[in-house]
Structure 1
Amino acid sequence: MFRGVLVIGAGPVGLLLATELRRAGVSVAVVDRLAEPMAESRATQLDPRTVELLRERGFGELLAEAVPERGGHFAGLPLAVTGYRKVPQYRTEAALAERAAELGVSLLRGQELTGLAEDADGVVARFGTSEMRAEYLVGCDGQDSTVRRLAGFEVSETPPTREILRADVLGLRVPDRRFERHPRGVAVAATREGKTRLMVHEFGLRGAAPEFRELAESWFRVTGEDVSGGDPAWVDAFDNTRVLVSRYRRGRVLLAGDAAHRHLPIGGRSLNTGLRDAVDLGAKLAATVHGGAPPGLLDSYHAERHPVAVRTMELVTAQETLLFGGPEVEPVRAVFAELLALPAVAAHLAGAVGGSPSTGEEAA
């Protein structure tokens, strides 16, 4: 029988939380439904605050391989700020998993969570015919969180209105472009080490299947370029569905990252917000497990991080409207570009979206 904290989900958020808890002397087990680590780039952007947090925790080697970005952006409009880094998510996960193993975190793969039960002493998690007991359980299992569903967290949800197709493709030669707007949509392309990340959105269209043929056809309609001869390593689609739980804690069960808040991952906001959830929760949960926490400390996790998610969703919604809106948003984009040229405005928005080192607070 396991005692300590059980983390469901071995993505970046779950692994960082596990390392934070182990550094504080808490026993941790991480369980993931995937038999093998993911090998896709997915979320790639680390903002300056997250870079700072990772550097403080000794992840210099990971940061050294990350590619510096030439600047930030708001809705694709240049934002004069430095410190952004790009690194494939599988590399971030690998670095975090290696650190977790060094610290003695138990990582169990290929286990699907099928049930949860809570009593006065802890939480029992069922995985098929086996079960584990822990003092606390944290769901870091992504936007379709099983923990969120099984534990009965209350959520507010806004259905999707926009979809973006995305792929990593080998054997392509197309110009790099950063949120390039065309009359029929928006295109993004970036090539690193022979692999090209493509993202495309067509104004007013939804429902395309996450297959490379569909992406290639959409890319041609938007840019006029033929990418159908590329070799896709990975293809998916994501949309602007918004989900937010009303509370980050239900008894001995807590949520972090996309399990607690889902939105369009523009500018790496999903990954970076989730990683900072993990850092905030780690210290508070460790103090609670050790028995030295003042009253209300664990509940302060919700009190501090929920407003950040609300504000993040506001900023993401504003950006997606400006970036993925049709020709009707061009006048607003023109005015916004003028405003971003003002140092005070640029500094304010840079701080709001994580584009400046941490001062101990996040814009809310």
Structure 2
Amino acid sequence: MGRVYLDWNATAPLRQEVRAAMLAALDVAGNPSSVHAEGRAARALVERARGEVAALVGCKPSEVVFTSGATEAAGILAHVPPHGAVCVDETAHDALWAHLDLTHAEGGANVLAKGLANSETGVITEPPARDEDGAYPYGAIRCGSLFLDVTQAAGRIPWSFHWSGADMACVSAHKIGGPKGVGALIVREGLDIGAVQKGGGQELGRRSGTENVAGIAGFGAAATAALRDMDAGVWAGVEKLRNILESSLASGAKGTIFVGNDRPRLPNTSCFVTPGWKGETQVMQMDLAGFAVSSGSACSSGKVKTPRVLAAMGLDQAAAESALRVSLGPETTEEDVLRFAETWLRHEKKFRQRAA
């Protein structure tokens, strides 16, 4: 039997319509900033994709700023005036945590950054509301703006930038079946912020550099396909498979803990802990058995450190280091999850026998 890919939160396989859109864009020779016919053809591809991404995340096309990915988009946190403190939710991705700065927080902070859905557990948290003073609370600190990381949520659960109340957001193409290396910063119209990258003034001066036309075209095609799948209820089917997987594992592994299964979660994500059985060991064993899974965020793989997100959810270090993440997608089948469950349970039984 062939390999089974169960790591969709790390990256989704490239969609066929995305591949076609990118190949077509590669044949367009012009620079999007040039005024001649070739340049205008390239510009048309960029603007079409801008509208497609805007439709997916529920914003105006003019609020979409193309970047090299969600990590670069999060770089705007360092430039929101007046360049004071940045508060970051404890379960946010490392791309946001890299900008944590509370050194000037006594008088409040510029921005609160948080993830709408956690990549490791799939747990969904509602965006905070402004308080009576128009600020976002972060403990005793009041933050002026809200930045949401919707990288895992976009295209999987209903969400709209406009009704979320967020001032800024980031999204990435490769999580929805688009190409790697392209994403977007969403900025509320009228918000005065700096530039993610300075230079020639592309993207209305917010992200300079010649646009990645093929990547952006692929992003747009992926956004359209993702919106179509969501409207068709595809992710409800994925959620059923996730539930089948967890029921199968729970029936044979009584000591395994399913993280966040009592909270709202992404429909495709299962994070479970078998105390004492290292997550990295499980990943290697499953890989050799033909299954691609993860022990956490792909950005953290290979790093020896305390699993911050799981620790923030109340797990001790030993338990957090024993977590495995399985993330499904529209191409996952019931046969895939049942094969995985059977294989994992076989290895789990051997682990218990060795540990006895």
TM-score clears 0.5: no
TM range (shorter): under 0.3
In terms of fraction of residues, the more strand-rich structure is 1
**TM-score (normalised: structure 1):** 0.23
